[in-house]
């Protein structure tokens, strides 16, 4: 395993941008090619980051959309379709993490990256 399985050059993995308020935002894509970000928080009390996917992309089964009156098809397919969210609705898709939480999560991610395991099993 190890570095031979890395699909991304770590130096090319992030695209650095800046928010309208001047905070650093790093963009990257997950294994499903969804746009994600790691961003400095504007919290004035302490250092925090935002981490997560950029767009929730809500979906609904087409048969359920018919049931809810979102579409009118007599024989819906069995697949997923976009679920329309009004502009007035906010879907928060990112975690707000403290430094301590970031360290804890980072250690767990490193463990997964080297072992493929996230368990809390203790070895003797």
The yes-or-no verdict on residue 124 having pLDDT over 70 is no
pLDDT at 19: 95
pTM attached to this predicted model: 0.76
Task: Work out the pLDDT band at 76, boundaries 50, 70, 90.
Answer: low
Task: Work out the pLDDT band at 52, boundaries 50, 70, 90.
Answer: very high
The yes-or-no verdict on residue 78 having pLDDT over 50 is yes
Instruction: Using a pLDDT cut of 90, give the percent of the chain over it.
Output: 68
Sheet with 35-40, side-by-side order of all strands: 15-18, 24-29, 35-40, 48-53, 94-98
């Amino acid at each position: 395993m190890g570095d031979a399985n890395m699909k991304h050059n770590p130096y090319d993995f992030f695209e650095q941008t800046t928010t309208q308020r001047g905070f650093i935002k790093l963009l990257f894509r997950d294994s499903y090619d969804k746009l994600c970000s790691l961003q400095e928080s504007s919290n004035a009390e302490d250092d925090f980051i935002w981490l997560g996917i950029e767009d929730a992309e809500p979906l609904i089964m087409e048969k359920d959309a018919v049931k809810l009156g979102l579409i009118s098809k007599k024989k819906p397919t069995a697949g997923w379709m976009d679920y329309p969210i009004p502009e007035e609705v906010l879907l928060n898709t990112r975690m707000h993490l403290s430094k301590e939480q970031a360290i804890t999560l980072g250690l767990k991610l490193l463990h997964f990256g080297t072992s493929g395991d996230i368990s809390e099993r203790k070895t003797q």
